Amino acid sequence: MTASDYTAQLIASYKVFEMQREEPEALINARQRAIRHFEQHGLPTRKHEEWKYTNIGKYLKEGFAARTQLATEEATSADLDWAAIPELEANRLVFINGRYDAGHSEIKDAALQFTPINEAIANGHPAVMEAVEKVVNAEKDPFIWLNEALFTDGTVIEVADKAELQYPVYLIHIEKPGEQPTLDCIRNIMTVGKNTKVQVIQNYLNGAGQQSNLANHLTQVAVGENSIVEWYNLQYHLDNALHLSNFEATIQRNARFANYVFTTSGELVRNTSNMKLLGEGADAHMYGLYQFTGSEHVDNRTLVDHAVPHCTSDELYKGIMDGTATAVFNGKIIVRPDAQKTNAFQHNPNIILSDDAAVYSKPQLEIFADDVKCSHGATSGQLDEDALFYLQQRGLSLDDARGLLTYAFANEVIDKVNVPALQAYLQKTIQGNLLIH
């Protein structure tokens, strides 16, 4: 199936989807606008600068059928065991192929207001249309338009001013196999009020076995004044799935937002994260750790938009690549003309453990103000031979020395995790991947 064939198939799926659903007129109009935009531009090719190093066409030859109705599968105890993080107490929200599974979910904090998007649409919840109208970076990614046109379910989460959540929010997204390879479009919307603190852990799991699924997620977070939000994305159990994630956050005055992405699995994983600082004193942090040993492909793209003065951003993405795996990092910082007194930093170091692994790194700065402190950089190389020799002289085997140095490299990102149970889980996972005992 060619890219144009698959574009036509998706447009046909939308027409079926449109006939099956009864929705407010404003949402119908937004979906129609989105599918027209998708039809006009089609699927991206490597001629598009944003997709230069990610050939999406080769992964879509199967022709993933867009899901036009809510999924009917339910989670099993094995699914929940798979998603378990030892000693983590959390508000648990479970989704199977995008559909909310109330029977296996548990909300412990009364201050957490949650509505499945399907119910929110039926009830005319304003947060859905507000999110639909406020997509930040849609013109550069056709999968955002595809999500806009075809999303079936997901989350609407609201945290009121001065609310105190005792537990993190744990979102579990499980993909289950169907009769044919399936495209699921899932939308997550979160609004955080003023003077509050929220931690969210989002775990993606693919249970489709040998059959690939394509998950297309769009997450939008609005952070109110003086609030602190931490969002952790886990991509450790994707197996041979295709996973596309667009993440957008707007950050108001004196608020702090931190976005974490941990990736060790998936045939193709593409994460696009856009942060917009809208109030003075806003603070954005972006951390990523990706580690692959086979033939997988991971593409991380970030954008931090400094729109006002006196804001700070800090970005650290680290990669460990082995086998024939490939990684792409494209990070951009924009400092607008009025955004004086900006501090913005970006770094993308990578360790390449084999001759056939590859990393394409492109850090970027666009500065239109003159009173700023900004820096960016990227490095790619192998482990330090002197350090390896030093450890071997003290009794470690070559494999153990390599594992220990690689783990020390990765742990700089894991150390920034502020949920103790999650940090311990990540440490053990990376140790296991590196065969450290």
Stated pTM of the model: 0.95
> Do 10 and 159 fall into the same domain?
yes
The answer to whether the beta carbons of residues 215 and 182 sit under 8 Å apart is no
Q: Among the three residues 181, 209, 237, which one is the final residue of a domain in this structure?
A: 237
Residue 1 within any structural domain of the chain: yes
In the numeric block, which tokens belong to residue 100?
Answer: 């909310």
| 104: confidence class by pLDDT, cuts 50, 70, 90 | very high
Residue 192 within any structural domain of the chain: yes
| 5: confidence class by pLDDT, cuts 50, 70, 90 | confident
Q: Among the three residues 237, 264, 288, which one is the final residue of a domain in this structure?
A: 237
Mean pLDDT of 207-229: 87
> Do 147 and 50 fall into the same domain?
yes
> Do 376 and 389 fall into the same domain?
no
| 84: confidence class by pLDDT, cuts 50, 70, 90 | very high
The Cα–Cα gap between 249 and 278 comes to: 10
Query: What does pLDDT average to over the chain?
Result: 91
Residue-number span of the structural domain to which 432 is assigned: 384-437
Give the DSSP letter string of 202-229: EEEEE--TTS--EEEEEEEEEE-TT-EE
The closest of 25, 70, 44, 88 to 423, measured between CA atoms, is 88
273 contact partners, CB below 8 Å, separation of at least 6: 247, 248, 249, 259, 261, 286, 300, 301, 302, 303
End-to-end CA distance of the chain: 46
> How many beta carbons lie within 10 A of that of residue 107, not counting itself?
16
Residue 251 within any structural domain of the chain: no
Check whether 290 has a pLDDT greater than 90.
yes
The pLDDT of residue 47 is: 86
Residues making up the chain, counted from first to last = 437
Highest mean pLDDT, choosing among 21-25, 67-71, 179-183, 335-339: 335-339
**Residues of the chain above pLDDT 90, percent:** 67
Query: What digits encode the pLDDT tens for the residues 294-351?
Result: 999 999 999 999 999 999 999 999 999 999 999 999 999 999 999 999 999 999 999 9
The pLDDT of residue 164 is: 83
Residue 263 within any structural domain of the chain: no
> Do 288 and 207 fall into the same domain?
no
The closest of 353, 290, 361, 287 to 328, measured between CA atoms, is 361
The pLDDT of residue 210 is: 55
333 contact partners, CB below 8 Å, separation of at least 6: 303, 304, 306, 313, 315, 344, 346, 364, 365, 366, 367, 374, 376
Residue 182 within any structural domain of the chain: yes
> How many beta carbons lie within 10 A of that of residue 283, not counting itself?
17
> Do 286 and 423 fall into the same domain?
no
> Do 179 and 300 fall into the same domain?
no
Residue 247 within any structural domain of the chain: no
Any bridge partners for residue 65, and if so which? Answer: 182
207 contact partners, CB below 8 Å, separation of at least 6: 79, 82, 174, 175, 176, 177
Query: Helix axis angle, 25-41 relative to 3-20, nearest 10°?
Result: 170
> Do 232 and 333 fall into the same domain?
no
| 239: confidence class by pLDDT, cuts 50, 70, 90 | confident
Strands 214-223 and 342-352, bridge-based pairing:
unpaired
The pLDDT of residue 173 is: 94
3-class SS at 64?
Answer: coil
The answer to whether the beta carbons of residues 322 and 351 sit under 8 Å apart is no
The pLDDT of residue 220 is: 95
Residue 365 within any structural domain of the chain: yes
The pLDDT of residue 208 is: 58
| 209: confidence class by pLDDT, cuts 50, 70, 90 | low
24-38, 197-211, 283-297, 348-362: range with lowest mean pLDDT: 197-211
The pLDDT of residue 437 is: 58
Check whether 137 has a pLDDT greater than 60.
no
267 contact partners, CB below 8 Å, separation of at least 6: 59, 212, 238, 239, 240, 241, 242, 296, 297
Check whether 139 has a pLDDT greater than 70.
no
The pLDDT of residue 136 is: 55
Check whether 160 has a pLDDT greater than 90.
yes
> Do 336 and 208 fall into the same domain?
no
The closest of 355, 144, 109 to 244, measured between CA atoms, is 144
Highest mean pLDDT, choosing among 32-41, 66-75, 131-140, 192-201: 192-201
> Do 29 and 135 fall into the same domain?
yes
Residue 262 within any structural domain of the chain: no
The closest of 93, 72, 257 to 176, measured between CA atoms, is 72
Q: CA of 124: how far to CAs of 100, 112, 117, 121, in Å? A: 18, 20, 10, 5
The pLDDT of residue 64 is: 85
Q: How many domains does the chain have?
A: 3
> Do 358 and 406 fall into the same domain?
no
The answer to whether the beta carbons of residues 80 and 51 sit under 8 Å apart is no
> Do 367 and 426 fall into the same domain?
no
> Do 121 and 231 fall into the same domain?
yes
Q: Which residue has the tokens 């951009």?
A: 332
| 102: confidence class by pLDDT, cuts 50, 70, 90 | very high
Query: What digits encode the pLDDT tens for the residues 165-178?
Result: 999 999 999 988 77
The pLDDT of residue 106 is: 95
Strands 91-96 and 99-100, bridge-based pairing:
antiparallel
Mean pLDDT of 394-401: 89
The pLDDT of residue 130 is: 87
The pLDDT of residue 45 is: 85
